[in-house]
Amino acid sequence: MVVVGIEVDAWAVLAAARAGAELTVAALSRELRSVVEAAAGGATDDEHDPDGSTTAFERAQVAALLARARGHLIAVEQAEQRLRAGSYGRCQRCGAAIATERLTALPATAYCVTCAAQRSR
């Protein structure tokens, strides 16, 4: 992959993305355990506990962030599979080359800008 005239090793980029995603998943997993353990030590009646809704919200928020981080890790793993197969950098929908700028910003992306926009509709 070439970025501003410099050859960039896609394996290195994806390895860095994987490492970051794994760190995020680990940190959020610890945070979720901490939130759950803190709630277990207190009142279990969220409806009548003045802090209950805050605790429930925090637990739900961390769980959602964790799910998103796990999804990103899966996307990175799938990008590594595409790289091994020789299809990395090609849109999975239309087969066109994905712009280098897009791959630089989102190394795990599987779609070109046009197809990504159509998928989000």
Q: Could you tell me the pTM of the whole model?
A: 0.79
What local confidence, expressed as pLDDT, does residue 8 receive? 63
> Which residue is associated with the tokens 């409806």?
47
| pLDDT at position 40 | 77
Place of tokens 């209950």: 52
For the chain, what are the domain ranges?
2-87
In angstroms and rounded to an integer, the radius of gyration of the C-alpha atoms of the chain is: 19
pLDDT given at position 94: 96
- The predicted structure's pLDDT at residue 49: 56
Tokens of 35: 């939130």
List per-residue pLDDT tens for the chain, 121 residues long: 544 344 568 999 999 999 999 999 999 999 999 988 887 766 555 555 555 568 888 999 999 999 999 999 999 999 999 999 999 999 999 999 999 999 999 999 999 999 999 987 7
Tokens of 101: 């700028």
Q: How close are the terminal C-alpha atoms of the chain, in Å?
A: 29
